[in-house]
Structure 1
Amino acid sequence: MKAKYYIADVFAEEKNGGNQLAVVFPKHELSDEEMQAIALEFHFSETTFVTGMKDDAYAVRIFTPAVEVPFAGHPTLGTAAVIAREYGLDSQTPIKLSLKAGVIPVTMSAGDGVLWMKQNQPDFGARYDIKTIAEKFGMYMNDFHPAYPPAVVSTGIPFLMIPLGGADALRHSQAVFSTGSGRVTKDMENPFYCFLPPEHPYGGTAAARLFAPQFGIAEDPATGSAAGCMGAYLTHYGPDKTIDIKILQGAEVNRPSVLYVKTTKTGEKFEVLVGGKVVFFSEGHVLS
Protein backbone atom coordinates (compact mmCIF):
# COMPACT_ATOMS: atom_id res chain seq x y z
CA MET A 1 0.00 0.00 0.00
CA LYS A 2 1.15 3.50 -0.82
CA ALA A 3 -1.03 6.46 0.12
CA LYS A 4 -0.32 10.16 -0.14
CA TYR A 5 -0.70 12.23 3.00
CA TYR A 6 -0.44 15.84 4.10
CA ILE A 7 0.30 17.25 7.52
CA ALA A 8 -1.28 20.60 8.34
CA ASP A 9 -1.56 22.87 11.36
CA VAL A 10 -5.23 23.76 11.87
CA PHE A 11 -6.47 26.83 13.76
CA ALA A 12 -2.91 28.11 13.44
CA GLU A 13 -2.02 31.73 12.83
CA GLU A 14 1.50 30.60 11.89
CA LYS A 15 3.48 27.39 11.36
CA ASN A 16 4.03 25.12 14.39
CA GLY A 17 0.87 26.36 16.08
CA GLY A 18 -2.67 25.01 16.04
CA ASN A 19 -3.69 21.38 16.04
CA GLN A 20 -1.72 18.96 13.88
CA LEU A 21 -3.66 16.91 11.37
CA ALA A 22 -2.69 14.13 8.99
CA VAL A 23 -4.91 13.74 5.92
CA VAL A 24 -4.48 10.47 4.01
CA PHE A 25 -5.64 9.74 0.44
CA PRO A 26 -5.75 5.92 0.15
CA LYS A 27 -5.43 4.51 -3.36
CA HIS A 28 -7.17 1.33 -2.27
CA GLU A 29 -9.86 0.61 0.29
CA LEU A 30 -8.49 0.27 3.82
CA SER A 31 -10.03 -1.73 6.62
CA ASP A 32 -11.08 -0.04 9.84
CA GLU A 33 -8.14 -1.72 11.55
CA GLU A 34 -5.67 -0.38 8.97
CA MET A 35 -6.98 3.18 9.32
CA GLN A 36 -6.85 2.95 13.10
CA ALA A 37 -3.26 1.68 12.96
CA ILE A 38 -2.21 4.57 10.71
CA ALA A 39 -3.88 7.08 13.03
CA LEU A 40 -2.05 5.56 15.98
CA GLU A 41 1.25 5.82 14.08
CA PHE A 42 0.74 9.53 13.37
CA HIS A 43 -0.55 9.94 16.94
CA PHE A 44 -2.06 13.36 16.33
CA SER A 45 -5.37 14.22 17.97
CA GLU A 46 -7.01 13.09 14.73
CA THR A 47 -6.10 11.63 11.33
CA THR A 48 -8.54 11.71 8.44
CA PHE A 49 -8.98 9.48 5.39
CA VAL A 50 -10.50 10.81 2.18
CA THR A 51 -12.16 7.68 0.81
CA GLY A 52 -13.93 8.99 -2.30
CA MET A 53 -17.10 10.86 -3.23
CA LYS A 54 -20.60 10.47 -1.83
CA ASP A 55 -23.05 12.37 -4.02
CA ASP A 56 -21.50 15.86 -4.24
CA ALA A 57 -19.46 15.56 -1.02
CA TYR A 58 -16.05 14.11 -0.21
CA ALA A 59 -16.40 11.03 2.00
CA VAL A 60 -14.13 11.40 5.02
CA ARG A 61 -13.51 9.26 8.09
CA ILE A 62 -11.91 10.58 11.27
CA PHE A 63 -9.79 8.59 13.72
CA THR A 64 -8.16 9.56 17.00
CA PRO A 65 -5.25 7.40 18.18
CA ALA A 66 -7.79 5.23 20.00
CA VAL A 67 -11.19 5.33 18.23
CA GLU A 68 -13.12 6.53 15.19
CA VAL A 69 -15.29 9.60 15.82
CA PRO A 70 -18.30 10.83 13.80
CA PHE A 71 -17.23 14.48 13.76
CA ALA A 72 -14.43 16.73 14.91
CA GLY A 73 -13.77 20.37 14.15
CA HIS A 74 -10.12 20.72 13.22
CA PRO A 75 -10.14 17.58 11.01
CA THR A 76 -13.14 18.95 9.11
CA LEU A 77 -11.58 22.34 8.47
CA GLY A 78 -8.11 20.97 7.79
CA THR A 79 -9.27 18.20 5.48
CA ALA A 80 -11.25 20.69 3.38
CA ALA A 81 -8.14 22.85 3.00
CA VAL A 82 -6.04 19.83 2.01
CA ILE A 83 -8.65 18.66 -0.51
CA ALA A 84 -8.62 22.12 -2.11
CA ARG A 85 -4.81 21.94 -2.37
CA GLU A 86 -4.69 18.34 -3.64
CA TYR A 87 -7.29 18.86 -6.35
CA GLY A 88 -6.47 22.47 -7.23
CA LEU A 89 -9.86 23.83 -6.23
CA ASP A 90 -10.52 27.55 -6.21
CA SER A 91 -10.35 29.02 -2.73
CA GLN A 92 -13.86 30.40 -3.10
CA THR A 93 -15.36 27.01 -4.01
CA PRO A 94 -17.42 25.58 -1.12
CA ILE A 95 -16.32 22.08 -0.15
CA LYS A 96 -18.71 19.55 1.34
CA LEU A 97 -17.46 16.74 3.56
CA SER A 98 -19.61 13.67 4.13
CA LEU A 99 -18.85 12.56 7.70
CA LYS A 100 -20.55 9.97 9.87
CA ALA A 101 -22.29 12.87 11.64
CA GLY A 102 -23.63 14.25 8.35
CA VAL A 103 -22.59 16.58 5.55
CA ILE A 104 -20.58 19.62 6.68
CA PRO A 105 -19.94 22.52 4.25
CA VAL A 106 -16.67 24.48 4.46
CA THR A 107 -16.06 27.87 2.83
CA MET A 108 -13.21 30.40 2.84
CA SER A 109 -13.79 34.07 3.56
CA ALA A 110 -12.23 36.48 1.10
CA GLY A 111 -9.12 38.32 2.14
CA ASP A 112 -8.21 36.94 5.55
CA GLY A 113 -7.68 33.24 4.72
CA VAL A 114 -10.10 32.02 7.39
CA LEU A 115 -11.99 28.83 6.56
CA TRP A 116 -15.48 28.45 8.02
CA MET A 117 -17.54 25.34 8.67
CA LYS A 118 -21.22 25.28 9.44
CA GLN A 119 -21.85 22.81 12.24
CA ASN A 120 -24.94 20.73 12.90
CA GLN A 121 -27.79 21.87 15.09
CA PRO A 122 -26.72 21.63 18.75
CA ASP A 123 -28.17 19.13 21.14
CA PHE A 124 -28.39 20.25 24.78
CA GLY A 125 -27.98 17.41 27.23
CA ALA A 126 -27.79 17.19 31.00
CA ARG A 127 -27.36 20.37 33.02
CA TYR A 128 -25.66 20.21 36.42
CA ASP A 129 -25.50 22.47 39.41
CA ILE A 130 -22.05 23.75 40.28
CA LYS A 131 -21.95 21.96 43.63
CA THR A 132 -22.41 18.54 42.00
CA ILE A 133 -19.46 19.01 39.63
CA ALA A 134 -17.31 20.65 42.31
CA GLU A 135 -17.78 17.71 44.68
CA LYS A 136 -17.33 15.10 41.96
CA PHE A 137 -13.98 16.49 40.80
CA GLY A 138 -12.65 17.99 44.02
CA MET A 139 -12.99 21.64 42.99
CA TYR A 140 -13.96 24.79 44.85
CA MET A 141 -17.29 26.50 44.23
CA ASN A 142 -15.50 29.74 43.37
CA ASP A 143 -13.57 27.97 40.59
CA PHE A 144 -16.73 28.19 38.48
CA HIS A 145 -18.31 31.08 36.62
CA PRO A 146 -21.43 32.00 38.59
CA ALA A 147 -23.54 32.96 35.56
CA TYR A 148 -23.29 29.71 33.59
CA PRO A 149 -24.06 26.07 34.53
CA PRO A 150 -21.93 23.03 33.72
CA ALA A 151 -23.82 21.28 30.93
CA VAL A 152 -23.48 18.79 28.08
CA VAL A 153 -23.68 20.16 24.52
CA SER A 154 -23.12 18.42 21.20
CA THR A 155 -22.95 19.42 17.53
CA GLY A 156 -21.69 15.94 16.66
CA ILE A 157 -19.64 14.99 19.73
CA PRO A 158 -21.02 15.68 23.23
CA PHE A 159 -18.79 17.67 25.59
CA LEU A 160 -19.21 18.48 29.25
CA MET A 161 -18.95 22.28 29.17
CA ILE A 162 -17.28 23.58 32.34
CA PRO A 163 -17.38 27.40 32.59
CA LEU A 164 -14.68 28.63 34.94
CA GLY A 165 -14.41 31.89 36.83
CA GLY A 166 -10.78 32.87 36.39
CA ALA A 167 -7.40 32.22 34.84
CA ASP A 168 -6.13 30.33 37.89
CA ALA A 169 -8.96 27.82 37.66
CA LEU A 170 -8.26 27.27 33.96
CA ARG A 171 -4.53 26.93 34.66
CA HIS A 172 -5.17 24.26 37.28
CA SER A 173 -7.80 22.38 35.26
CA GLN A 174 -5.24 19.88 33.99
CA ALA A 175 -4.62 18.72 37.56
CA VAL A 176 -8.36 18.08 37.88
CA PHE A 177 -9.31 16.56 34.53
CA SER A 178 -6.20 14.64 33.48
CA THR A 179 -6.19 10.88 33.87
CA GLY A 180 -3.52 11.22 36.57
CA SER A 181 -5.82 13.17 38.87
CA GLY A 182 -7.46 10.03 40.25
CA ARG A 183 -10.91 11.50 39.55
CA VAL A 184 -11.05 10.97 35.78
CA THR A 185 -11.22 7.60 34.03
CA LYS A 186 -11.28 6.68 30.35
CA ASP A 187 -14.78 5.22 30.68
CA MET A 188 -16.33 8.59 31.57
CA GLU A 189 -18.84 9.44 28.89
CA ASN A 190 -17.92 12.96 27.74
CA PRO A 191 -14.68 14.88 27.17
CA PHE A 192 -14.17 17.91 29.42
CA TYR A 193 -14.17 21.39 27.86
CA CYS A 194 -13.00 23.91 30.44
CA PHE A 195 -13.33 27.53 29.40
CA LEU A 196 -13.35 31.16 30.43
CA PRO A 197 -16.38 32.86 28.83
CA PRO A 198 -15.74 36.04 26.80
CA GLU A 199 -15.74 39.37 28.57
CA HIS A 200 -19.08 40.37 27.01
CA PRO A 201 -22.23 38.22 26.54
CA TYR A 202 -22.26 39.16 22.84
CA GLY A 203 -18.58 38.40 22.22
CA GLY A 204 -14.94 39.09 22.85
CA THR A 205 -12.10 36.71 23.67
CA ALA A 206 -12.55 33.39 25.45
CA ALA A 207 -9.96 30.82 26.54
CA ALA A 208 -10.33 27.04 26.67
CA ARG A 209 -8.68 23.70 27.40
CA LEU A 210 -9.96 20.27 26.30
CA PHE A 211 -9.23 16.96 28.04
CA ALA A 212 -10.41 13.79 26.28
CA PRO A 213 -9.02 10.59 27.85
CA GLN A 214 -11.95 8.76 26.22
CA PHE A 215 -10.34 9.37 22.83
CA GLY A 216 -6.74 8.82 23.86
CA ILE A 217 -6.12 12.61 23.95
CA ALA A 218 -4.52 13.97 27.12
CA GLU A 219 -5.04 17.60 26.05
CA ASP A 220 -6.18 18.87 22.67
CA PRO A 221 -4.44 21.97 21.25
CA ALA A 222 -7.54 23.21 19.37
CA THR A 223 -11.03 21.76 19.37
CA GLY A 224 -13.34 23.09 16.68
CA SER A 225 -16.27 20.84 17.57
CA ALA A 226 -16.19 22.04 21.18
CA ALA A 227 -15.78 25.65 20.03
CA GLY A 228 -19.06 25.32 18.15
CA CYS A 229 -20.62 23.88 21.28
CA MET A 230 -19.38 26.93 23.23
CA GLY A 231 -21.05 29.24 20.74
CA ALA A 232 -24.33 27.35 20.99
CA TYR A 233 -24.00 27.16 24.78
CA LEU A 234 -23.49 30.92 25.17
CA THR A 235 -26.51 31.79 23.04
CA HIS A 236 -28.60 29.14 24.83
CA TYR A 237 -27.70 29.97 28.43
CA GLY A 238 -26.66 33.62 27.99
CA PRO A 239 -28.69 36.78 27.36
CA ASP A 240 -27.55 37.47 23.78
CA LYS A 241 -28.80 35.48 20.80
CA THR A 242 -25.99 36.54 18.48
CA ILE A 243 -22.33 36.22 19.45
CA ASP A 244 -18.98 36.68 17.75
CA ILE A 245 -16.02 35.37 19.74
CA LYS A 246 -12.35 34.44 19.45
CA ILE A 247 -11.16 31.43 21.45
CA LEU A 248 -7.54 30.99 22.52
CA GLN A 249 -6.44 27.41 23.16
CA GLY A 250 -3.32 25.25 23.11
CA ALA A 251 -0.69 27.53 24.67
CA GLU A 252 -0.30 25.13 27.60
CA VAL A 253 0.86 22.39 25.21
CA ASN A 254 3.01 24.75 23.12
CA ARG A 255 0.57 24.76 20.20
CA PRO A 256 -1.06 28.22 20.37
CA SER A 257 -4.35 28.18 18.50
CA VAL A 258 -7.02 30.70 17.54
CA LEU A 259 -10.61 29.70 16.76
CA TYR A 260 -13.37 32.03 15.59
CA VAL A 261 -17.02 31.37 16.38
CA LYS A 262 -20.16 33.11 15.16
CA THR A 263 -23.50 31.89 16.44
CA THR A 264 -27.04 33.14 15.93
CA LYS A 265 -30.14 31.75 17.63
CA THR A 266 -33.49 32.36 15.92
CA GLY A 267 -36.35 30.77 17.80
CA GLU A 268 -35.23 27.18 18.39
CA LYS A 269 -32.80 27.14 15.46
CA PHE A 270 -29.08 27.86 15.65
CA GLU A 271 -26.54 28.82 13.05
CA VAL A 272 -23.13 27.75 14.34
CA LEU A 273 -20.06 28.80 12.34
CA VAL A 274 -16.53 27.90 13.40
CA GLY A 275 -13.51 29.31 11.60
CA GLY A 276 -9.74 29.24 11.59
CA LYS A 277 -6.64 29.29 9.44
CA VAL A 278 -4.73 26.28 8.09
CA VAL A 279 -0.96 26.21 7.59
CA PHE A 280 0.52 23.38 5.50
CA PHE A 281 3.55 21.67 7.01
CA SER A 282 4.55 18.68 4.87
CA GLU A 283 3.46 15.94 2.51
CA GLY A 284 4.62 12.40 1.85
CA HIS A 285 3.48 8.80 1.47
CA VAL A 286 2.38 6.10 3.87
CA LEU A 287 4.18 2.90 2.95
CA SER A 288 2.98 -0.64 3.60
Structure 2
Amino acid sequence: MTSVLRYAAFTLDPAGGNPAGVVLDARGLDDDTMQAIAADVGYSETAFLTEEATDVQPVRYFSPKAEVPFCGHATVATAVAIAERNGPGEIVFSTAAGLVPVMVDDDLRATLTSVEPHVEEAGDIQDVLKLLGWSAEELNPELPPRIAYAGARHLVLSTATRQRLADLEYDFDGLTAYMLERDLTTLQLVWRESPTVFHVRDPFPVGGVVEDPATGAAAAAFGAYLRELGLAQPAITLHQGDDLGRPSLITVELRPDDSRVRVSGNAVPITAPA
Protein backbone atom coordinates (compact mmCIF):
# COMPACT_ATOMS: atom_id res chain seq x y z
CA MET A 1 0.00 0.00 0.00
CA THR A 2 1.36 3.42 -0.96
CA SER A 3 2.18 5.65 2.02
CA VAL A 4 0.85 9.20 1.64
CA LEU A 5 2.09 11.90 4.01
CA ARG A 6 0.00 15.01 4.55
CA TYR A 7 1.48 18.46 5.20
CA ALA A 8 0.12 21.98 5.45
CA ALA A 9 2.40 24.37 3.55
CA PHE A 10 3.07 28.07 4.12
CA THR A 11 1.96 27.88 7.73
CA LEU A 12 3.01 26.69 11.17
CA ASP A 13 -0.55 25.59 11.97
CA PRO A 14 -1.83 22.27 10.57
CA ALA A 15 -5.27 23.89 10.31
CA GLY A 16 -3.88 26.70 8.13
CA GLY A 17 -1.96 26.88 4.89
CA ASN A 18 -2.51 24.67 1.87
CA PRO A 19 -2.64 20.91 2.45
CA ALA A 20 -0.46 18.78 0.19
CA GLY A 21 -0.03 15.07 -0.20
CA VAL A 22 3.53 13.74 -0.34
CA VAL A 23 4.53 10.29 -1.57
CA LEU A 24 8.23 9.87 -0.80
CA ASP A 25 8.48 6.56 -2.68
CA ALA A 26 6.40 6.47 -5.86
CA ARG A 27 8.71 4.08 -7.71
CA GLY A 28 6.69 1.70 -9.82
CA LEU A 29 3.50 3.78 -9.77
CA ASP A 30 2.05 4.49 -13.21
CA ASP A 31 0.25 7.67 -14.22
CA ASP A 32 -3.23 6.27 -13.60
CA THR A 33 -2.29 5.13 -10.11
CA MET A 34 -0.76 8.47 -9.16
CA GLN A 35 -3.81 10.25 -10.52
CA ALA A 36 -6.11 7.98 -8.51
CA ILE A 37 -4.11 8.57 -5.33
CA ALA A 38 -4.24 12.35 -5.83
CA ALA A 39 -7.99 12.20 -6.39
CA ASP A 40 -8.43 10.10 -3.26
CA VAL A 41 -6.30 12.45 -1.16
CA GLY A 42 -8.37 15.33 -2.50
CA TYR A 43 -5.86 18.12 -1.89
CA SER A 44 -5.09 20.63 -4.62
CA GLU A 45 -1.86 18.70 -5.33
CA THR A 46 -0.01 15.59 -4.27
CA ALA A 47 3.71 15.27 -5.00
CA PHE A 48 5.26 11.95 -6.04
CA LEU A 49 9.00 11.18 -5.87
CA THR A 50 9.30 8.76 -8.74
CA GLU A 51 12.91 7.58 -8.43
CA GLU A 52 15.37 6.71 -5.71
CA ALA A 53 17.00 9.80 -4.22
CA THR A 54 20.10 11.09 -6.02
CA ASP A 55 21.68 14.53 -6.36
CA VAL A 56 18.61 15.52 -8.39
CA GLN A 57 15.24 14.21 -7.22
CA PRO A 58 12.56 13.71 -9.90
CA VAL A 59 9.09 14.80 -8.74
CA ARG A 60 5.65 14.86 -10.34
CA TYR A 61 2.54 16.69 -9.19
CA PHE A 62 -1.07 15.63 -9.60
CA SER A 63 -4.20 17.57 -8.76
CA PRO A 64 -7.43 15.60 -8.23
CA LYS A 65 -8.12 15.99 -11.97
CA ALA A 66 -4.81 16.20 -13.84
CA GLU A 67 -1.03 16.37 -13.70
CA VAL A 68 0.46 19.87 -13.37
CA PRO A 69 4.00 20.89 -14.36
CA PHE A 70 4.94 22.54 -11.07
CA CYS A 71 3.41 23.12 -7.65
CA GLY A 72 5.05 25.41 -5.11
CA HIS A 73 3.25 24.40 -1.92
CA ALA A 74 3.71 20.68 -2.57
CA THR A 75 7.40 21.32 -3.30
CA VAL A 76 7.79 23.10 0.05
CA ALA A 77 5.90 20.29 1.80
CA THR A 78 8.03 17.61 0.15
CA ALA A 79 11.30 19.38 0.95
CA VAL A 80 10.32 19.72 4.61
CA ALA A 81 9.23 16.07 4.75
CA ILE A 82 12.65 15.02 3.41
CA ALA A 83 14.50 17.39 5.76
CA GLU A 84 12.63 16.00 8.77
CA ARG A 85 14.08 12.59 7.89
CA ASN A 86 17.53 13.50 6.52
CA GLY A 87 18.29 16.85 8.10
CA PRO A 88 18.34 20.39 6.64
CA GLY A 89 20.15 21.31 3.45
CA GLU A 90 19.56 21.73 -0.26
CA ILE A 91 17.42 19.45 -2.39
CA VAL A 92 17.21 19.86 -6.17
CA PHE A 93 13.93 18.71 -7.67
CA SER A 94 13.59 17.83 -11.33
CA THR A 95 10.09 18.95 -12.36
CA ALA A 96 8.34 19.06 -15.72
CA ALA A 97 9.06 22.80 -15.70
CA GLY A 98 12.77 22.42 -14.98
CA LEU A 99 15.16 22.15 -12.05
CA VAL A 100 13.96 23.71 -8.79
CA PRO A 101 16.49 23.93 -5.92
CA VAL A 102 15.03 24.11 -2.42
CA MET A 103 17.02 25.06 0.67
CA VAL A 104 15.62 23.93 4.02
CA ASP A 105 17.14 25.66 7.07
CA ASP A 106 17.56 24.44 10.64
CA ASP A 107 14.07 25.72 11.48
CA LEU A 108 12.63 23.62 8.63
CA ARG A 109 11.71 26.69 6.64
CA ALA A 110 11.99 25.99 2.92
CA THR A 111 13.06 28.40 0.16
CA LEU A 112 12.57 27.33 -3.44
CA THR A 113 14.20 29.00 -6.41
CA SER A 114 11.94 29.16 -9.45
CA VAL A 115 12.77 28.27 -13.01
CA GLU A 116 13.42 31.24 -15.30
CA PRO A 117 10.24 33.35 -15.23
CA HIS A 118 8.61 35.47 -17.90
CA VAL A 119 5.63 37.80 -18.24
CA GLU A 120 3.38 38.46 -21.22
CA GLU A 121 0.40 40.62 -22.14
CA ALA A 122 -2.95 39.25 -21.02
CA GLY A 123 -4.95 40.39 -24.04
CA ASP A 124 -8.69 40.98 -23.80
CA ILE A 125 -9.91 40.13 -20.28
CA GLN A 126 -13.61 40.96 -20.64
CA ASP A 127 -14.59 37.27 -20.72
CA VAL A 128 -12.76 36.40 -17.53
CA LEU A 129 -14.11 39.47 -15.74
CA LYS A 130 -17.62 38.35 -16.66
CA LEU A 131 -16.92 34.84 -15.33
CA LEU A 132 -15.71 36.37 -12.06
CA GLY A 133 -18.58 38.82 -11.85
CA TRP A 134 -16.10 41.71 -11.82
CA SER A 135 -16.08 44.96 -13.77
CA ALA A 136 -13.11 46.73 -15.32
CA GLU A 137 -13.78 49.69 -13.03
CA GLU A 138 -13.02 47.49 -10.00
CA LEU A 139 -9.45 46.79 -11.15
CA ASN A 140 -6.36 48.65 -9.98
CA PRO A 141 -4.93 50.43 -13.05
CA GLU A 142 -1.50 50.61 -11.42
CA LEU A 143 -1.29 46.80 -11.52
CA PRO A 144 -2.45 45.89 -15.04
CA PRO A 145 -3.47 42.37 -16.10
CA ARG A 146 -0.62 40.12 -17.20
CA ILE A 147 0.09 36.43 -17.62
CA ALA A 148 3.07 35.49 -15.47
CA TYR A 149 5.07 32.27 -15.51
CA ALA A 150 7.56 30.75 -13.08
CA GLY A 151 6.92 27.08 -13.69
CA ALA A 152 3.21 27.41 -14.50
CA ARG A 153 1.06 30.09 -16.14
CA HIS A 154 -1.10 32.41 -14.02
CA LEU A 155 -3.32 35.32 -15.02
CA VAL A 156 -2.72 38.21 -12.60
CA LEU A 157 -5.68 40.50 -11.93
CA SER A 158 -5.52 43.22 -9.29
CA THR A 159 -8.55 44.65 -7.49
CA ALA A 160 -8.79 48.21 -6.24
CA THR A 161 -10.35 47.15 -2.90
CA ARG A 162 -9.96 44.40 -0.34
CA GLN A 163 -13.73 43.94 -0.30
CA ARG A 164 -13.82 43.04 -3.99
CA LEU A 165 -11.20 40.38 -3.33
CA ALA A 166 -13.18 39.03 -0.35
CA ASP A 167 -16.41 38.72 -2.36
CA LEU A 168 -15.23 35.97 -4.69
CA GLU A 169 -17.83 33.86 -6.46
CA TYR A 170 -17.33 32.62 -9.99
CA ASP A 171 -18.64 30.40 -12.78
CA PHE A 172 -16.69 27.18 -12.08
CA ASP A 173 -17.34 25.41 -15.38
CA GLY A 174 -16.98 28.58 -17.43
CA LEU A 175 -13.69 29.52 -15.79
CA THR A 176 -12.39 25.98 -16.19
CA ALA A 177 -12.98 26.14 -19.95
CA TYR A 178 -11.48 29.64 -20.17
CA MET A 179 -8.30 28.54 -18.35
CA LEU A 180 -7.86 25.32 -20.29
CA GLU A 181 -8.04 27.25 -23.56
CA ARG A 182 -5.22 29.51 -22.37
CA ASP A 183 -3.11 26.93 -20.48
CA LEU A 184 -3.59 28.74 -17.17
CA THR A 185 -2.99 26.94 -13.88
CA THR A 186 -4.63 29.51 -11.58
CA LEU A 187 -5.80 33.07 -11.53
CA GLN A 188 -3.69 35.22 -9.20
CA LEU A 189 -6.21 37.72 -7.81
CA VAL A 190 -4.47 40.47 -5.87
CA TRP A 191 -5.13 43.42 -3.59
CA ARG A 192 -2.15 45.65 -2.70
CA GLU A 193 -2.03 46.70 0.94
CA SER A 194 1.40 48.34 0.57
CA PRO A 195 4.42 48.10 -1.77
CA THR A 196 5.60 45.02 0.13
CA VAL A 197 2.34 43.44 1.37
CA PHE A 198 -0.33 41.86 -0.85
CA HIS A 199 -3.45 39.79 -0.26
CA VAL A 200 -4.09 37.13 -2.90
CA ARG A 201 -6.65 34.48 -3.87
CA ASP A 202 -6.17 31.74 -6.46
CA PRO A 203 -9.11 30.00 -8.14
CA PHE A 204 -7.98 26.57 -9.36
CA PRO A 205 -10.95 24.99 -11.16
CA VAL A 206 -8.74 23.23 -13.73
CA GLY A 207 -7.44 21.11 -10.85
CA GLY A 208 -10.92 20.36 -9.58
CA VAL A 209 -10.46 22.77 -6.65
CA VAL A 210 -12.50 25.95 -6.19
CA GLU A 211 -9.61 27.81 -4.60
CA ASP A 212 -6.08 27.29 -3.29
CA PRO A 213 -5.35 28.51 0.27
CA ALA A 214 -1.67 29.05 -0.68
CA THR A 215 -0.06 28.92 -4.11
CA GLY A 216 3.72 28.94 -4.24
CA ALA A 217 3.93 28.71 -8.03
CA ALA A 218 1.67 31.74 -8.41
CA ALA A 219 3.68 33.59 -5.76
CA ALA A 220 6.84 33.06 -7.81
CA ALA A 221 5.05 34.20 -10.97
CA PHE A 222 3.75 37.26 -9.11
CA GLY A 223 7.29 38.18 -8.11
CA ALA A 224 8.28 38.14 -11.78
CA TYR A 225 5.20 40.24 -12.56
CA LEU A 226 6.20 42.93 -10.04
CA ARG A 227 9.74 43.02 -11.40
CA GLU A 228 8.40 43.40 -14.95
CA LEU A 229 6.34 46.41 -13.84
CA GLY A 230 9.32 48.00 -12.06
CA LEU A 231 7.70 47.40 -8.65
CA ALA A 232 10.19 44.88 -7.27
CA GLN A 233 11.10 44.97 -3.59
CA PRO A 234 13.76 42.81 -1.91
CA ALA A 235 11.09 40.95 0.08
CA ILE A 236 7.35 40.79 -0.48
CA THR A 237 4.77 39.21 1.82
CA LEU A 238 1.69 37.50 0.42
CA HIS A 239 -1.31 36.76 2.65
CA GLN A 240 -3.50 34.02 1.23
CA GLY A 241 -6.21 31.74 2.58
CA ASP A 242 -7.64 34.25 5.07
CA ASP A 243 -11.00 34.27 3.28
CA LEU A 244 -11.07 30.45 3.41
CA GLY A 245 -10.24 30.15 7.09
CA ARG A 246 -6.80 28.68 6.28
CA PRO A 247 -4.38 31.62 6.70
CA SER A 248 -1.11 31.30 4.80
CA LEU A 249 2.04 33.39 4.76
CA ILE A 250 4.32 33.38 1.72
CA THR A 251 7.55 35.35 1.36
CA VAL A 252 8.78 36.31 -2.11
CA GLU A 253 12.40 37.39 -2.55
CA LEU A 254 13.62 39.30 -5.61
CA ARG A 255 17.38 39.62 -5.95
CA PRO A 256 18.85 42.28 -8.24
CA ASP A 257 21.53 39.87 -9.51
CA ASP A 258 19.19 36.96 -10.36
CA SER A 259 16.05 36.99 -12.52
CA ARG A 260 14.71 33.87 -10.81
CA VAL A 261 12.30 34.24 -7.90
CA ARG A 262 12.66 32.76 -4.43
CA VAL A 263 9.61 31.72 -2.45
CA SER A 264 9.81 30.80 1.24
CA GLY A 265 7.51 29.24 3.79
CA ASN A 266 7.08 26.65 6.48
CA ALA A 267 5.29 23.32 6.36
CA VAL A 268 3.96 21.15 9.17
CA PRO A 269 2.55 17.62 9.26
CA ILE A 270 -1.18 17.06 9.31
CA THR A 271 -1.89 14.13 11.60
CA ALA A 272 -5.29 13.37 10.07
CA PRO A 273 -6.84 14.18 6.68
CA ALA A 274 -8.07 17.82 6.56
TM-score normalized with structure 2 length? 0.89
Q: Does 1:179 align with 2:172?
A: yes
Structure 1 equivalent of residue 223 of structure 2: 231
Instruction: Tell me which amino acid in the other structure corresponds to 1:9.
Output: A
Cα distance change, pair 118–234 in 1 and its aligned pair in 2 (3 A): same
Structure 2 equivalent of residue 90 of structure 1: 87
Structure 1 equivalent of residue 236 of structure 2: 245
Instruction: Tell me which amino acid in the other structure corresponds to 1:102.
Output: G
Q: In 1, are the aligned partners of 2:80 and 2:104 still within 8 Å (CA)?
A: no
Q: Does 1:120 align with 2:115?
A: yes
Q: 1:133 and 1:21 mapped to 2: Cα distance?
A: 28
- Offset, 1:102: 1.3
Q: In 2, are the aligned partners of 1:46 and 1:65 still within 8 Å (CA)?
A: yes
- Structure number with the higher strand fraction is 1
Q: In 1, are the aligned partners of 2:27 and 2:51 still within 8 Å (CA)?
A: no
Q: Which moves more between the two structures, 216-225 or 7-16?
A: 7-16
Identity of aligned residues (%): 30
For the residue of structure 2 that corresponds to 1:184, the secondary structure is helix
Q: 1:42 and 1:135 mapped to 2: Cα distance?
A: 32
Q: 1:279 and 1:102 mapped to 2: Cα distance?
A: 26
- Offset, 1:13: 2.7
Match of 2:267 among 278, 282, 288: 278
Structure with greater Cα Rg: 1
- Offset, 1:16: 1.1
Instruction: Tell me which amino acid in the other structure corresponds to 1:32.
Output: D
Q: Which moves more between the two structures, 3-12 or 51-60?
A: 51-60
For the residue of structure 1 that corresponds to 2:189, the secondary structure is strand
Q: Which moves more between the two structures, 124-133 or 149-158?
A: 124-133
Q: Where does 1:193-212 land on structure 2 (aligned, <5 Å)?
A: 193-200=188-195, 203=196, 205-212=197-204
Instruction: Tell me which amino acid in the other structure corresponds to 1:273.
Output: R
Q: In 1, are the aligned partners of 2:128 and 2:178 still within 8 Å (CA)?
A: no
Q: 2:266 and 2:73 mapped to 1: Cα distance?
A: 10
- Offset, 1:130: 7.1
Q: 2:9 and 2:235 mapped to 1: Cα distance?
A: 20
Q: 1:50 and 1:281 mapped to 2: Cα distance?
A: 19
Instruction: Tell me which amino acid in the other structure corresponds to 1:90.
Output: G
1:126-157 Cα deviation digits (max 9, x unpaired): 23477786567552333111211111011111
Q: Does 1:262 align with 2:256?
A: no
Gaps of 5+ in 2: none
Q: 1:124 and 1:15 mapped to 2: Cα distance?
A: 34
For the residue of structure 2 that corresponds to 1:4, the secondary structure is coil
Structure 2 equivalent of residue 12 of structure 1: 11
- Offset, 1:33: 0.4
For the residue of structure 2 that corresponds to 1:77, the secondary structure is helix
Cα distance change, pair 119–206 in 1 and its aligned pair in 2 (3 A): same
Q: In 2, are the aligned partners of 1:20 and 1:44 still within 8 Å (CA)?
A: yes
Q: Does 1:215 align with 2:210?
A: no
Q: Does 1:80 align with 2:51?
A: no
Q: In 2, are the aligned partners of 1:178 and 1:213 still within 8 Å (CA)?
A: no
For the residue of structure 2 that corresponds to 1:277, the secondary structure is strand
1:66-108 Cα deviation digits (max 9, x unpaired): 00011011011111111222xx3221x1111111111111113
Q: 1:133 and 1:216 mapped to 2: Cα distance?
A: 18
